[in-house]
Amino acid sequence: MKITKIISHVLRYDMPEVLGYSQQYYDQRTAHLVEVQTDQGITGWGECFGPGNVAISNKSIVETVIQPIILGLDPVDRDVIWHKVYNLLRDHGQGGMPLQALSGVDIALWDIAGKLADLPLHKLLGGAHRTSVPCYGYGMMLRDEPVADLAARFEEEAARIKDIGFSATKMKTGFGPKSDVQLCEAVRRGVGDEYRFMVDANHAYTTSDAFYVGRALEELDAYWFEEPVAPEDLDGYAELRRGLTVNIVGGEAVFNRWNWRILLERRGLDIAQPEVCALGGISEYTRVLALCHAHFTPVVNHVWGSAIAVATNLHLLAAMPDLPGSLHPWEPMLEFDTTDNRFRDELLTAPLNIQLQVKNNAGRVSIPEGPGIGVEPDRDFINRFRIDA
């Protein structure tokens, strides 16, 4: 079998409302799908992390940089292909966009392998430790409005996510420490005292400001404090973890096993959040997961993007060993964006129906059982939303 073509599909549509996080506001939804074709008619699908113009730039890397390197190679030789591409791109960036682009290609190669073997991805990875996973719903995105108004909105939205049936919820912060604490207090009011909620700062704070917010989160009994400081601030992560009782989590902007090794050796995380569509794909994810577990650091995957990303992560969560093993083990959760996302809800020929599963299965989502990642995109849908770039 040989790789004959790689196609990047960058999809985009105008969102019904402007949303934001600590770094920016946005009014368009983007997804970057990667299609790898073979001479035996088997096609694999993957996804690259990165919105907007980042997706357009990654499309160029996939099609004009990576494709010429691997055309004619056997797609089953995933590890050979991964290292060939990484080694040739090493001088041009050991993380960031080159790794995001490689991630989409690598996921598609694993999809091909599963289809060739007629096995779901979790079987290729060694089997499923669980047949379903709890799912948390994130929302409470920032809007350009007074904090008091946003706090009222957050309180209502948090209550709604809980009522839908999600096992936990996550909110955004980014207006500054004092205003952000008000927003966190509103979410706690919305969900009540016993429900798990998490806070995502998207690296908005200095270490001192993160301590201010983190101490408030301890009082509010938040479950975790995500990306409190910049991903480069490894000492800041370690200092926060030593000084706070709320779980310190992060890792979505950490690429490849070597960067993960440094972060884990600094003991900066209570929970790790690798992003398979960014760090180097499934091949590199398995190595990062092994590193996390070698450091006894549990993992809750970061999930952002289309139904391709969601399906891929469901398999990865299923194949994740318990850490530590016990009669009632700690469980990873599926992250689910509750805001408008047509590329998640309408992309597939057979939708995953995450929200319906959450409602009907006590907050849990089943693992796909089809070959590969177990889903197929609707080409008519892709053609309708694909942009030329």
Distance of CA 20 to the CA centre of its chain: 17
Q: Which helix (H) or strand (E) holds 16?
A: strand 3-21
Query: Three-class SS of residue 29?
Result: strand
Contact 348, 82 (CB under 8 A): no
Distance of CA 324 to the CA centre of its chain: 23
Query: Three-class SS of residue 381?
Result: helix
Q: Where are the domains of the chain?
A: 3-118, 122-366
The pTM of the full predicted model, rounded to 2 decimals, is 0.97
**Cα–Cα distances in Å, from 365 out to 34, 108, 335, 361?**
25, 23, 11, 7
Query: 122-366 maps to which CATH number?
Result: 3.20.20.120
Residues marked active site are found at 302
106-152: per-residue pLDDT in tens? 999 999 999 999 999 999 999 999 999 999 999 999 999 999 999 99
- Measured CA angle at 375 (ends 373, 376), to 5 deg: 125
Residue that the structure tokens 């408008």 belong to: 340
Count the helix, strand and coil residues of the chain and give each as a percent rounded to the nearest 5: 45, 20, 35
Please give the Cα distance from 35 to 43 (Å, whole number): 7
Share of the chain above pLDDT 70, in %: 100
Q: Which fold has domain 3-118?
A: Enolase-like; domain 1 (3.30.390)
Contact 50, 13 (CB under 8 A): no
149-200: per-residue pLDDT in tens? 999 999 999 999 999 999 999 999 999 999 999 999 999 999 999 999 999 9
> Which alpha helices (DSSP H) does 305-375 contain, by range?
307-318, 342-345, 354-360
Query: Three-class SS of residue 387?
Result: coil
Query: Three-class SS of residue 47?
Result: strand
- Quote the tokens at residue 161: 């996510």
> Residue 388 — pLDDT band, cuts 50, 70, 90?
confident
Please give the Cα distance from 33 to 136 (Å, whole number): 24
